[in-house]
Structure 1
């Protein structure tokens, strides 16, 4: 049987041409069988042991000469390619504005939260690490746990789907990056994962790149609601693949949001009991993502506010100066009592909001900020406010609105957005005074 291998124990010991040729042929056979490089030494030893009908010790003090010779041959042939990568995945974060790959560690058992960031970020040299500010270090530290949690869910996805994640990373971090290609790969990652979910429910997904339509189909098939707000970060036209206008910021936002979305969908492929929605049991239609205001004299001294809601709608409310002044006093008093922290302070001392999780209220705030145009002032769904009530909840500020035509509206505003709301109202009052709309 040894002859069938093309070499003998003596050839192995002396490293003769017969051994070298025979190992090359055996390795080619393993290649045709699609055995990954790290697994080939063990497969080769197994083939040799079966051919010779012997037992082979592959480690320890009694390691056989054949296993030593095979291991040496593979080490010389493949070098570092033999190393097994146990990392659950990779993602991109910014370090001083540069995209670096965060390589997640394999964690077994409980984790105390301590990690060597220079090993997690291969592009982070020791001198650069020493020069990072506390805020920059916090970006890495805070990114690790939420990435770790999401990649644990991504393990159920096929490699053909996760290949899009790797493509997004490569297109962002290569020496010749193409951020449009990266953005498109992130969309494909999200799209294919949702279509995988639909097939698992016996549904045939439509041939579309419209993530909103796909998410609605997933929700009708049993996926708990809550992910609509981050779709705007991922959705793009196929033309981005050929565009040079896509920015690193847009590609990074799509990358992070696609990881968050796909992990959420993948989690519900295997864990039907967990919902983990963005706002628990609150109604998405009432949750405010962002806001802006406009001033026009035709509105008789009122400020027109547009609120971007979590269900992808826009609510337009017309506030008088009296309502704005009252709200400004109420909200300022609530903040003064410590009811709502201003998270913007985190990102004015070295932190980079681009590294924040996609569902961070401030990230959604800047992503969904409405832009005013002539059509907003002509809209037929404007509610002119007659009365407003404000109440503090544990994580939200809730505004109950009544309109002059008996319409009602409810606005749920994350604690992290209460300070931006106060600033928006203050800016509206200041511009209204300058414009002469009210005293």
Structure 2
């Protein structure tokens, strides 16, 4: 492992790119159901020595008439990508609200074996009423119940991943002894939401257990990440707010008796790369010209818990009205980061739409401008790295890999080659021991 602090970069695959109209420029507008499309993204990320590709997910179909939606189940697609790549990490999102811990622990452990230890589970809660209706729930769970369930869910998954000790799989052909039962443990979990005997029927994975990620910045998400996660994916739009979040989360992790140096903060970043700043802005303007402004205003209003009539295109956001919105079905991190950006730059709704009101910070400029910005946030402790959003895949990612990554390498903050084989090694994280092995040794 590298001894100095190293920048970490994932690419976040949401749809066919971050720009809502980007799909209209693709040679294959049906790319969302084409494996070759995703394979090119993953191999491009690997060519750039990125830490991982990250698949977000959605559990309900909405706005599908306007553009492509997430389609493939993440662990299925990651399994296919594992066979098409050798080094890049594979991060999949799954809901703790609408899954079972045993099945999910088994799926991620399976893909970790099949990939040689390159997998991470991004644990999220689901507030969407449309998703709840697909899983026999009449109404979504409350915020408090979602996160209480998530805490127990992740606890069970971790116990299951640890239920086989490292040396439990003997596979001794001479003696005929396949496993050591004393090193395979029933977890006997009995909790408020789950009753799971265990053990897992998959031996311990190549990296001890899959990397665990939490996405979000709500209070419930922060508590979950501080207790369990190896990394947190977050939306941060200004450096001061990112630095405050960074400091707070490192302190929370330390209060759980964990090493904050082994906990990564990775905000989203949306770079639009051009040979000149003017070229980058012209490229974005071409995509923006394909948008329906009224539709984008309505989309922003809905995400903020407002009606379209509450927003006026050439006026600031109605901050007082937003502060009064109290709903458990809205992404608190998105609202907070959007408001922080709008206030910091005194933006009108039109200007905010130009800044990507999808919570993740946008940089439109030259490779040098983008690399310098990334270095500043990294060096000033606003982030340990970033989840990169491309305007359109795969071209947006290829531009970053070809023109920005070499600059980050010259700055000495990003790898020039992979130094290990597992995602934990890419992230410079230690391999965890089985908690059951520790208990047995202490007994």
TM-score (norm 2): 0.24
Higher relative contact order (CA 8 A, sep 6+): 2
